[in-house]
Structure 1
Amino acid sequence: MSEHEEVHEAIELPHCSRCDSPLEPGDLRCAICGQAAPQTDRSANEKVSVTLLRCTGCGAAITYDPDHQAPACSFCGEVLRVETVDDPMEQTEVYLPMTVSIDEARAALKAWLGTRGWFTPSDLSSSSTLTEIKPLWWVAWIFDAEALVSWTADSNAGSGRSAWAPHSGQTPLRFDDMLVSGSRGLSESEAYAITPGMQLGTGNTSPSGGGDDATFERFDVPRSQARQQVLAAIEQTAADRVRAQHIPGTSFRKVRVAIVLRRLITRRYALPAYVLAYRYRDQLYRVVICGQNANLIVGSSPFSYAKLFALIGGIVGFVLFLLMIAAVAGS
């Protein structure tokens, strides 16, 4: 992760004197513990307006570039409208390079179509037609944090004759390189399916790869809302870790966690991917491929009801055959 750290060495942010979390420009108080921020020259904090394109369908926000952007959304095809928003808005700090080429993405789609399982049409790979391939950078928050987690829960450990027994405890937890998707164009399942292939240490201050026709998604929420999303992700992750590692027993209920954070460091990333559309028998299907690892693919594919009915028919026929044999043997 040394390269990743080098990207941010030039960004010197003041830190909270109580919990050591970085303070963003314009913060009056620490967002983690509420400590007042040190006084600065407020006149230097100018409000910045940002122009972006907003999809009227899926709500995705992408970089406004009248020379390159099409009037249709790259994610869902709906109409785009121009929108102007004011600071404080989240802005991308680090771009990961697109290391998978368009040709490699096409080949990965072809191979993926051939491995979709028995219940897909037999001619899926040979009869499908790629209709669109779009390189894009989607946005996400990557954060590190330290936390003291207090928890309560009921479990089957030590319950005696009862089904449940109460338990509680405290434990310190660290969160390193945790990702929260800020994308509206990619669903959460799509974003998290391709996340393991991202090499955070390769980040730079500008994008590379992907060709000239790439789409750049923007963060489209105020800073306060972004922090709420990150804090919600920390709470959910803490609850999952407590269930897996700290609550005794094998069955749990009423798991509650309370978190005291220290040193929350959040970075804004743009992560590369390809969005592909392919056609099979007049139906369009969508696939998303990780821009740094073509083996990570998520998408939809047609279902072969003919194979399902053939399987059901075969099972029914086999059962009838066994019944006939049993009847003949009994007579």
Structure 2
Amino acid sequence: MNAARIQTKLVLISFVSCAITMATSSASADEPSTSPQIFLAKEEKNPEAQIKLSGLVRTADRKPVPVGTRLKYCSIYTFRRKGTTGITQAMWGNLGWRLGPNGRFSGAPFYGHAEGDTLTRVKYYLTASAPGYAPSWIGPLKAKPGDSLDDLDIVLKLGFEGRLKLTDSDGKPIVGVNLEMSYAGKQCPLLGKLKSGDDGMVIIPDCAQASIDVSIRHPGFQPSRFKVLLSPNKDLQHELLSARPTTGLVVSSETGEPIPGAKIQILEEQFVYPVLFGLSHVTCPHEYHFGDGPIVGSSDQQGRFTIDTFIDDLDYKLAVIAPGYKNGRLIKIQSGQKDLRVELELAPEEESSNNGL
């Protein structure tokens, strides 16, 4: 179990460390280029060290590549820095807003290392997406400085409307649930944020027939992370478990008076991942800085708060943040706990001006 937790945490760290960058092609807004240079090339003192990629994006039905087709990449690169043995980083971005009808691309990707670093090797993952087609990806493509990877071939296939219905334990639809979705194991090709409709249905246009990672945090229900494989003309259903409310009171340590408007932020929580490394599930702790974690509640005019988004039987570490007061903490909090009491000390004037969210 410990090994599984360590490996899972490394996966999380790698994912969070992906920096989002975007680069546009030189084609005009009205006329798509017939041979676009879609990669943002880094100015190099040694051009021979660049890695050149070229290839073709095409459609399985042999139709022209639609205007608006996008090519994205994730590059995982290793470089040597003086005094170190090696550092691996990841970068994610758009390689161009669109391709021309012939779908060809070529260029040298930007890999973002600092001046003085020596690039040793790179792995690329390329993802193409187009209106009316499911996303398609290739990789890992391994290369060293000076290499040219030619004749790369990405085939776009027709997508379908993916449908996932969210319900409670009584089978009633849950409306307005925000979901984070991404294709599993495909190196960051995010589906983005989607929301369930009045019938609890989540619609994924131009869906690919591949496993999708889903993450949900919705008031009144336990956070849920799961995988789903959608198919054409088939609705899948997922049940969200109700959360037991955790309640408490925020007061001044000097006067005992209630403090309204205090934000309750998660400092540490545990994610539950199903069926990883041959196990039924694995839990992995994740820490946040003050001001960065999810806000799960706030105190009312009487200083009372309710949190209804905790997973049963897991421990949480919380920060209580209010303007004019020193930050408070709650340790080893679980769902269903009642009448927690948080006493906040007044902050010095220079601290209170920067306190709060």
Give the TM-score normalised by the residue count of structure 1: 0.24
Bigger RCO of structures 1 and 2 (CA < 8 A, at least 6 apart): 1
The structure with the larger Rg is 1
The structure that is helix-richer by fraction is 1
